[in-house]
Structure 1
């Protein structure tokens, strides 16, 4: 009898540990609105034990996401993947030869090691929107597409902020097949 109780107890502990292995990290721990030198950012990513997933070649950003992209000469962008949680979080950094970070792009994707319901993406999107609004003020643009009414397989929701210090562009892709992705662009120019 004691061995059965011990077995059930160990099973419950194992289950609770596996359930809590992945969690939804609060956005204030994920998003840094400052545009520090890339040297500082690199040190912080190493301290967070982020994985360097840099492509090794130059790639660009469309002007609908970063309107002044063409005005700068960037080094090869650096990309990091943060430790796993309920989402796979990738952060791309665009910086100049003199170490000035001009643009960051956060991207939340489904963690394929676990099921991430669409409601978690909706909650994460709302949490990011609330956080950015607290920091930058009310957005000047909010556009939401209705996935059910759309003839397209994928729709995009857009929110943009602008103040004298910083610009932010939050967008979410949602698909009829269950696709979900959130991106946040941060820049100053």
Structure 2
């Protein structure tokens, strides 16, 4: 009887610990607004135990996201995935041959190991927006699409900032079938 109670107790503790494993990481711990050398960023990603998910070949970013993309020559972009969160966060880094990071692309997706509601995506989107407003000032563009009124299955919300420090483009996809995704592009030029 004692061993059964002990076994149940251990299972309950393990379950409660696994529930607490996923939580909402504050954006200031996720988004780095500085543009360090890529070698420094790589060390930071390794120290965070991020998973290297680099594709191993070059891929491009559209000019609607990064208007000056074509002006630069990049190495193969490096991608990292961070999982210890309610969201799966993927970060792509575009850097030059001389190790200068020029563009960062963050993407928050649903973590299938954690229950995430549309409200949590709304809260994360608002948290990112607030963080960027505090650091870059007010956006010069804000467009929100009404999912209920749209004839499309998926809509996109767009917010853009331009400051002397850097530029940012935050956008979110929302779908009638429950699809949610948040993306953030940050660049200096």
TM over 0.5: yes
Partner of 1:150: 150
The two structures, once aligned, show a CA RMSD in angstroms of 1.6
What residue number does 1:120 align with? 120
Mapped contact 1:49–1:83 kept (Cα < 8 A): no
- The alignment's TM-score, normalised by the length of structure 2, stands at 0.94
Q: 1 CA distance for matches of 2:72 and 2:61?
A: 12
Q: Secondary structure at the match of 2:21?
A: coil
**1:22 match:** 22
Residue 85 (structure 1) shift: 1.4
Count of matched residue pairs: 189
TM norm structure 1: 0.94
Cα distance change on mapping 1:56 and 1:4 into 2, 3 Å: closer
Query: Following TM superposition, by how much is the alpha carbon of 1:83 offset from its aligned partner in structure 2, in angstroms?
Result: 3.2
For structure 2, list consecutive stretches of 5 or more residues without a partner in the other structure: none
Decide whether the 8 Å contact of 1:168 with 1:187 is kept in 2: yes
Deviation at 1:16, TM superposition (A): 2.1
For residues 71 and 155 of structure 1, the distance between their equivalents in structure 2, rounded to whole angstroms, comes to: 30
> After superposition, where does 1:172-187 map in structure 2 within 5 Å?
172-187=172-187
Structure 1 gap segments, 5+ residues each:
none
Within 2, Cα distance between the matches of 1:33 and 1:140? 18
